[in-house]
Amino acid sequence: MIRYVRPRRKRDSTIPLINVVFLMLIFFLIAGTVAPPLDPDLELVDTAELEGREPPDALVLHKDGTLSFRGASIDPETYMASRDAGPVRIVPDRNASGPRLIEVTGALRRLGASSVFLVTEQALE
């Protein structure tokens, strides 16, 4: 008598994939709790209603390419002549041209600024 042998079904290979996804889930759950939570009594500062102003010691680059310092028009040479060599802060207008900003930062560096920082707005949304 000839015995009929049923062909073996191949096992699904999704079980190892499920195991890997499960291990990744556990890893990220543990890694996310490494940082200690904030104190529940802590109330963070609300800055939504603050008026945006440039720092008082910063140069302002307007959209037309002119520079001002504390409300008065100025050029990089005059600004650097009236202060010590050190870091300089620039607050560029959103619509100021990039080449003009690079030109001003290069001039400040050549005139003795140790570094030039751009002051920008950070949106938290």
- Per residue in 89-98, pLDDT (tens digit) is 888 888 888 8
Question: Domain containing 88: what range?
Answer: 59-118
Q: Count the neighbouring beta carbons within 10 Å of the beta carbon of residue 104.
A: 22
Task: Report the C-alpha dihedral over residues 22, 28, 31, 33, rounded to 10 degrees.
Answer: -100
Domain presence at residue 94: yes
Domain presence at residue 123: no
- The whole-number pLDDT of residue 25 equals 93
Question: If DSSP codes are grouped into helix, strand and coil, which group holds residue 88?
Answer: strand
Q: For the chain, what is the domain count?
A: 1
Domain presence at residue 9: no
Domain presence at residue 98: yes
Domain presence at residue 50: no
pTM passes above 0.95: no
Domain presence at residue 8: no
Domain presence at residue 81: yes
DSSP state, 83?
S
pLDDT(24) > 90: yes
CA–CA separation, 57 and 51 (whole Å) = 17
